Amino acid sequence: MTIRTLNGEALTQLVLEVFRLNGELLGAGNRITGPFGLTSARWQVLGAIDEEGQPLTVSQIARRMGLARQGVQRIINDLLERDLVSSFPNIDHKRAPLFDLSKEGEKVMAKINAAQAAWVNNLSEALSAKEVSRALKLLRTISERLENSN
């Protein structure tokens, strides 16, 4: 039986805390987006497009957000029905259309971004930017190592 090293145990505890944090963040996201008839999952998809600033395919959204392509497709279909995204032909791949925020999607994202800014500013009050930057660097390093180990 393999026993965890000290580093392995410390990383295990960090992973467990990230799992708990993910649940808390999804709950907070649902509270932020609820007044606009959305969920954290729908916000993730809209946010990926908004952040990129250009139309994306379902696969591109899934990769950027670390989500399953099939799940993103279901959400995109829902967002199309709600007129929050628009679909465009993709000259590079006929079977993979591009999706962008519709005018209504832009309005909703502006409201969500304002609500998120107030929430995150309040949450970050007792944290230093230096601490947050160090934590971000560590999480990115772990993510890169995970991606390279597959």
Domains defined along the chain, listed by start: 11-123 (1.10.10.10)
104 vs 83: CA distance, rounded Å:
7
Task: Find the Cα–Cα–Cα–Cα dihedral 29, 27, 79, 47, rounded to 10°.
Answer: 30
What mean pLDDT do residues 48-71 have?
Answer: 94
* pLDDT at residue 91 tops 90: no
pTM: 0.86
- For the cut 80, the answer to whether the pLDDT of residue 120 exceeds it is yes
Distance CA 35, CA 33 (A): 6
CA distances from 119 to 1, 28, 41, 43, 150 (A): 45, 9, 18, 15, 35
Residue 14's closest CA among 132, 129, 127, 142? 142
For all residues of the chain together, what is the average pLDDT?
95
Q: Is the pLDDT of residue 150 over 90?
A: no
Residues 6+ apart with CB under 8 A from 87: 80, 97, 98, 99
Mean pLDDT of 15-33: 96
Task: Using alpha carbons only, give the angle 85, 88, 93 rounded to the nearest 5 degrees.
Answer: 125
